[in-house]
Copies of this chain bind each other. A is one copy, B any other.
Amino acid sequence: MKRLPLNEQPCPIARSLDIFGEWWGLMILRECFSGVTRFDNFQKNLGVSKNTLTARLGKMVERGVLKRVPVSPGALREHYKLTEMGKELHTVFVALRQWGDKWTFDGAPPNAVVERKNGRIVAPIAVRSQSGRVLKPRDTMLVKL
């Protein structure tokens, strides 16, 4: 049996992964969530060649996660900003960061996500019921709609 390509599978996990294309898609998004918008800064932080980065950023624009925006009104030069679709990945990112903080560092992790206005560390992200109860994997199941 031939498998459907990721973007045609009836599964939002498969389709989402297809949008990022490869790990580098997520590493680019990590930079975006840290406030990086300019090509030069993406390149410096990610250490990839110009050609590769151009292709990757282009793919993220094409798939709707990033958009090209003039650096100032009327300017010809553009930088890269998250679209609404891209911004909504913030939850996935913070969840992955919290997991990585816990499981991939022996000592204290190097950074923390805090509230901008008061510097307090954000709460651990959890799957919750509509009424706010924290749900474990065994408390949930997947059903066909």
Contacts and interface: CB of A to CB of B under 8 A. Distances in A.
Interface of A: 1-3, 6-7, 10-17, 19, 22-23, 26-27, 30, 33-34, 46-47, 64, 82, 85, 87-105, 108-117, 119-123, 125-130, 132, 135-145
A34 B11 CA distance: 12
B142 A111 contact: yes
Contact of A110 (B34, B132, B145): B145
A82 B3 CA distance: 25
Contacts of A88: 99, 102-103
Chain A's interface: helix, strand, loop or mixed, by majority?
mixed
A97 B95 CA distance: 13
Contacts of A110: 10-11, 144-145
A93 to B, nearest CB: 7
Most chain B Cβ neighbours within 10 Å, of A10, A13, A125, A129: A13
Contacts of A22: 23
B115 A122 contact: no
Given A13-B26, A114-B142, 17 more contacts: A2-B47, A3-B46, A12-B99, A13-B93, A14-B27, A16-B103, A82-B137, A88-B99, A89-B99, A90-B137, A113-B140, A113-B141, A113-B142, A114-B141, A115-B135, A123-B128, A125-B125
A126 to B, nearest CB: 6
24 contacts: A3-B47, A11-B30, A11-B110, A12-B98, A12-B101, A13-B97, A14-B27, A15-B104, A16-B103, A19-B104, A34-B142, A91-B98, A91-B99, A95-B95, A95-B125, A111-B143, A111-B144, A112-B143, A113-B127, A114-B142, A115-B135, A122-B129, A122-B140, A125-B125
